[in-house]
């Protein structure tokens, strides 16, 4: 396995974070499910988690509570 300079790896990681942040700030890109999956994978891979205190989580929960319940053959789909 080739040795890669730690500074180069740090720079690559910084660029990856910058690209994800740029995508999240773009109103069209952040609605793309494939992009959001990449963000979730990055968070999982780096053991980063949100908590109820994380800015924005409360608003997401409120929006999720507004999603209607759909009925399918007399079963509730949630």
Pairing between β-strand 75-77 and β-strand 70-72 as defined by DSSP bridges: antiparallel
pTM for the whole structure: 0.61
Could you tell me which residue, 60 or 76, shows the higher pLDDT? 60
As a whole number of angstroms, the distance between CA 73 and CA 10 comes to: 53
> Residue 51's pLDDT is what?
79
Please write the tens of the pLDDT for every residue from 45-69. Answer: 988 887 778 887 777 777 777 777 7
| Cα–Cα distance measured from residue 33 to residue 18, given in angstroms and rounded to the nearest whole number | 19
Q: Return the half-sphere exposure (C-beta side, CA atoms, 13 A cut-off) of residue 65.
A: 6
């Amino acid at each position: 396995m080739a040795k890669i300079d730690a500074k180069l790896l740090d720079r690559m990681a910084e660029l990856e974070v910058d690209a994800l942040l740029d995508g999240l700030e773009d109103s069209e890109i952040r609605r793309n499910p494939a992009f959001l999956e990449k963000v979730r994978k990055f968070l999982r891979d780096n053991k980063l988690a949100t908590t109820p205190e994380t800015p924005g989580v409360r608003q997401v929960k409120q929006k999720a509570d507004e999603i209607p319940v759909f009925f399918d053959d007399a079963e509730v789909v949630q």
